[in-house]
């Protein structure tokens, strides 16, 4: 097999009912639905198996594919951090997205029950 990317979630150290997710995907495998499938499975696992209440994700504002992925999965933009990360020799902005367990189950409940 070939590693095409990775994804993770980290439990919030101050509230174990919340977590942050993240993901990366190699350029050669982008645009094929792998990230959507992986992040969707990760969110279902986090909400259903781990019974988490809220999940956040932070993404580069210039990463249109990541922004589209998070919005397609039903996450809402809750924040815009201005010049908060030094990346590739310049200051960059990031968006904060979030979704609650009830929102995920309302949008994807039929997937979870299959």
Radius of gyration of the chain (CA): 14
Per residue in 39-52, pLDDT (tens digit) is 999 999 999 999 99
CATH dotted code for 5-113: 3.40.630.30
pLDDT band at 109 (very low <50, low <70, confident <90, very high): confident
Give pLDDT tens digits for 51-81.
Answer: 999 999 999 999 999 999 999 999 999 999 9
**Cα→Cα distances 15→2, 69, 88, Å:** 35, 26, 33
Whole-angstrom CA distances from 55 to 33, 48, 80, 84, 101 are: 21, 12, 17, 21, 8
Name the helix (H) or strand (E) containing 61: none
For the chain, give every domain's residue range. 5-113
């Amino acid at each position: 097999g070939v590693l095409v990317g990775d994804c993770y979630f980290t439990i919030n150290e101050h509230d174990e009912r919340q977590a942050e997710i993240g993901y990366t995907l190699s350029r050669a495998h982008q645009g094929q639905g792998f990230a959507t499938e992986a992040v969707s499975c990760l969110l279902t696992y986090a909400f259903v198996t781990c019974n988490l209440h809220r999940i956040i994700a932070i993404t580069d504002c210039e990463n249109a594919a990541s922004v589209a992925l998070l919005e397609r999965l039903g996450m809402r933009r809750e924040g815009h951090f201005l010049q908060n990360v030094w990346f590739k020799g310049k200051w960059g902005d990031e968006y904060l997205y979030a979704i609650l367990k009830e929102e995920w189950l309302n949008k994807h409940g039929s997937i979870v029950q299959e």
